[in-house]
């Protein structure tokens, strides 16, 4: 098997992607997160009704994705062992409910964890508001390449913020239901991988049924944080990051446990029905 080609990855070039989105896209994204389950709740309605509409900050992660670009043989990644491990989102200016953005993707770093320990590929995306030229957000997707360690690359990466979960009960726990059709709705905003829709594909991948997108679980946690820590003010969120631990199944209830550390909130998410940790080492910073 070919080893990761570090130089080829670091030279990878991406064209700028221009993405326009409307208020309908903003509402569809929020519905995919289960927002609007209580249509009489003004806090939820603010994300799913075109009057006084707010965009969920995490919608930035579905705008301007470069596609499945790392499947080329010369890059040397074993695609059978690739997982979306972590995600970060830094918000420089709130995402408007409709507009046009320019996405600039780049390989941020590739870390060699060593033979038998895998590698980490971090892909950065800057979103720029086309009308103003302002940098709207910076996001980094960390891809864990489980079978690709030991290629001779750097063993250390850029420093990452600490997201240690305290060893005491949370300051706040928020329950959010998901709908059985959550993945079918969310995929219309983002990833059309049949793993999230086709039971046969899901079973072939080792799951009992289609799973929800990891980024949707992140969005559900973001709404819990915005509702519970900032009374529904989406514009207050400045930074969000987490690690994906296990898949969530559509229809399950998500419990987001939150700890207030004064300068930040740390959090994790559990699928209540299975008592399964699905998202860990979360960290959120508000203005």
Residue pLDDT, tens place only, 56-68: 999 999 999 998 8
Annotation marks residue 191 as catalytic? yes
Tokens representing residue 19 in the block: 């993405």
Catalytic residue among 78, 108, 171, 191: 191
**pLDDT classification of 29: cutoffs 50, 70, 90:** very high
Tokens representing residue 69 in the block: 């670009």
Catalytic residue among 126, 196, 213, 257: 196
- pLDDT for position 1: 54
Q: Is the model's pLDDT at 2 over the cut of 80?
A: no
How large a percentage of the chain has pLDDT more than 90? Answer: 87
On whether the CB atoms of residues 268 and 255 are closer than 8 A, the answer is no
Annotation marks residue 16 as catalytic? no
CA 197 to chain centroid: 19
Q: Is the model's pLDDT at 3 over the cut of 90?
A: no
Q: Is the model's pLDDT at 235 over the cut of 70?
A: yes
How large a percentage of the chain has pLDDT more than 70? Answer: 99
Rg (CA), the chain: 19
Q: Is 159 exposed, middle or buried (0-12, 13-18, 19+ CB in 10 A)?
A: exposed
CA distance 148 to 143: 11
**CB within 8 Å of 158: residues ≥ 6 apart:** 108, 109
pTM attached to this predicted model: 0.94
On whether the CB atoms of residues 174 and 224 are closer than 8 A, the answer is yes
Least confident of 70-74, 84-88, 95-99, 165-169: 70-74
- Segment 120-142 mean pLDDT: 97
Domains of the chain: 6-145 (3.10.129.10), 172-286 (3.10.129.10)
Tokens representing residue 281 in the block: 């080492």
């Amino acid at each position: 098997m070919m080893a990761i080609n570090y130089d080829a990855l670091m030279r990878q070039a991406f064209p700028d992607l221009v993405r326009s989105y409307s208020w309908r896209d903003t509402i569809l994204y929020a519905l995919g997160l289960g927002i609007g389950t209580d249509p009489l709740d003004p806090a939820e309605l603010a994300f799913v009704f075109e009057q006084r509409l707010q965009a969920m900050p995490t919608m930035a992660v579905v705008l301007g994705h470069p596609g499945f670009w790392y499947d080329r043989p010369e890059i040397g990644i074993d695609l059978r062992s690739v997982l979306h491990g972590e995600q970060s989102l830094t918000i420089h200016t709130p995402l408007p409910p409709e507009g046009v953005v320019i996405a600039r993707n780049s390989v941020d770093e590739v870390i060699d964890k060593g033979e038998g320990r895998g590698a980490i590929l971090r892909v950065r995306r800057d979103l720029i508001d086309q009308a103003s030229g302002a940098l709207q957000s910076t996001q980094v997707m960390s891809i864990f390449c489980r079978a690709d360690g030991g290629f001779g690359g750097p063993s250390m990466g850029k420093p990452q913020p600490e997201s240690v979960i305290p060893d005491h009960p949370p300051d706040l726990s928020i329950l959010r239901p998901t709908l059985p059709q959550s993945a079918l709705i969310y995929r219309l905003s983002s990833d059309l991988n049949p793993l999230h829709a086709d039971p046969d594909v899901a079973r072939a991948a080792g799951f009992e049924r289609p799973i929800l997108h990891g980024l949707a679980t992140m969005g559900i946690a973001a709404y819990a944080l915005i509702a519970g820590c900032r009374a529904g003010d989406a514009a207050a969120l400045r930074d969000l990051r987490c690690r994906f631990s296990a898949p969530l199944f559509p229809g399950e209830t998500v419990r987001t446990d939150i700890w207030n550390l004064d300068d930040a909130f740390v959090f994790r998410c559990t699928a209540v029905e299975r008592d399964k940790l699905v998202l860990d080492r979360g960290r959120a910073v508000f203005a």
